[in-house]
Structure 1
């Protein structure tokens, strides 16, 4: 499978997770986040699991698209769930925003579909996605074994259905990142880039599994890109973070911005 277009480094709304949330006194709007991305020299932004997106009407969505266009930013869209009506809603959103990719996951609260249901759903809706030129990328994550996700992708067997690679997620299911990278490599349409690490909890009782600045944790980035070859295959790399809340709002925002800049510097140096 190859990506249509150019391979680019982009930011996810997860790179501004805390600044977009109501945990801060003055949350960013999605328009603000796009402007921050542009100021960092980024021309690709993935609006991923951003709840307000679902409540926007077509006029609101068109306004987001106008902001992105004015800033020279291409948009991608991410959601969770595979119910047909939900996928069609996000196909509509993707159309207005100009996204040629929809990242999703199988499970949402109240709906954990089996493989047969997922296959049937994709076989039903993919012709509409293909007609619109929008691909679906299923993210690797701990709630669904990677091999089960790959089984669905293989059964559907469409260039419009593939994988959003994120080996950090699968560690929680005791799937080793390198093994996941090896398994998903032929099917990758999109990459989420975030580093991760274990740290001892207080008293050395157990561990915390959390984010780390890119290049300082356990993510073997060089191995991953050697296997997946995003530049050769024109696969976009989207920066995310797993940054825990710090001692204060100011410190959390400062560190979130620092991690974003470090991630961009790291990827641009490769």
Structure 2
């Protein structure tokens, strides 16, 4: 397994709250400096506006830094997936992460199967794998069913068990169900903390190894189920905004990312 970083690990530093949001080149450079080997450009709409020359620059920058690129988007409509397959070709990407739902489209499992049956053969022909992420809007059993019914090795699951807790699915159950189909792992830890006055809980991110994620167990399950198949681990965060403001938030975001990468390096 190679390890890397997602745009989601730079969530606040590329947000509208940043005095000057980081550029894609700066994120790539930072990923390499931290020891990452992969960078996943995930839910980053500006990439769709890049022309061929700019995409070639991104690909060359990643190559010069020793980084493998991955892409991430949302939705399963064939036209949109075709756009990301084209981008994958321009960038030299062999894995695209997506999600079944978008703000304007929530396909049933049957509809999702039909739509993916239109798109996945082109991905397979191009040697690109499409991974559908586990998350609370779709039951993990339904997601697994969709992947099984399409029945193509170039369609799998992006495993992120923390997302499904909001659906009252236990992370260990999500891992067990998804592991045989996992093509990519999002690594982010998570925990519940009591709110003021002990009225309810906050469910948010925490440094890797300090929360409820059984990272070692997850990796072991995927390795056992997938054998020699290469499954990259991509660092993300659910870092809450810090009361002290942007500088404190950005500094902590960087610290969490470095800690996660160091943890992955030690686990190799």
Task: Give yes or no for the alignment of 1:262 onto 2:259.
Answer: yes
Which residue of 185, 198, 202 corresponds with 1:208? 202
Task: Give yes or no for the alignment of 1:242 onto 2:238.
Answer: yes
CA distance in 2, matches of 1:14, 1:140: 16
1:232 Cα deviation from its structure 2 partner:
4.4
C-alpha contact (below 8 Å) 2:189/2:205 kept by paired residues: yes
1:58 Cα deviation from its structure 2 partner:
2.1
C-alpha contact (below 8 Å) 1:20/1:30 kept by paired residues: no
Q: TM-score, normalised by structure 1?
A: 0.95
Aligned to 1:157: 151
- Matched positions, count: 264
Q: Which blocks of at least 5 consecutive residues in structure 2 are unaligned?
A: none
CA distance in 2, matches of 1:256, 1:167: 21
Q: What is the Cα-based RMSD across aligned positions, in Å?
A: 1.1
Aligned to 2:77: 83
Aligned to 1:4: none
Aligned to 1:252: 249
CA distance in 1, matches of 2:260, 2:28: 17
Q: TM-score, normalised by structure 2?
A: 0.96
Aligned to 1:227: 221
1:110 Cα deviation from its structure 2 partner:
1.2
Q: Which blocks of at least 5 consecutive residues in structure 1 are unaligned?
A: 1-6
Aligned to 1:36: 30
Aligned to 1:119: 113
SS in 1 for 2:204: strand
Task: Give yes or no for the alignment of 1:27 onto 2:21.
Answer: yes
1:23 Cα deviation from its structure 2 partner:
1.0
CA distance in 1, matches of 2:229, 2:257: 24
CA distance in 2, matches of 1:156, 1:238: 25
